[in-house]
Amino acid sequence: MKEFTNTKKSAHFDALGDPIQINKAYGWSRNDSGLSYVTIGIAEKFSEKGVTFKVISAKKSLYDYDPEPLQIGGDGFDNIKEKVNIKGMMVFPIPPKPTRNPGTFVRGNNNGFAHLDDIELD
């Protein structure tokens, strides 16, 4: 990681206190006059004051209404810039989605096979 002379620890460490990793997904949120915004981005590079993220998903919601996606790229009310710089302590790591084990199949009804993750257990 490139060292910056005036950077405080919180700029390059996430909200859990762990070092931010380039090419990993992080999420952050904010509230503004009843609007809630939730964003997910990929850490791209470090800067003097934080970390630059490439936005991959952004949504907004007013109070308890269902979230609506924001357009990535642009400066309008329903847009979010494609890249944003955020202080590290404002972001949380997003764990990768679990993948299925391709060998976990069991015999089902009618001599068919089903993936173990698809079977409801009592």
* Whole-number pLDDT of residue 81: 92
Distance from the first to the final alpha carbon of the chain = 49
What count of residues does the chain have?
122
Residue with tokens 């997003």: 94
Question: DSSP code of 71?
Answer: E
Rounded to two decimals, the pTM is 0.72
Q: Is the predicted pLDDT of residue 4 greater than 90, yes or no?
A: no
* Whole-number pLDDT of residue 98: 75
The strand pairing partners of 115, in sequence order, are 105
* Whole-number pLDDT of residue 106: 47
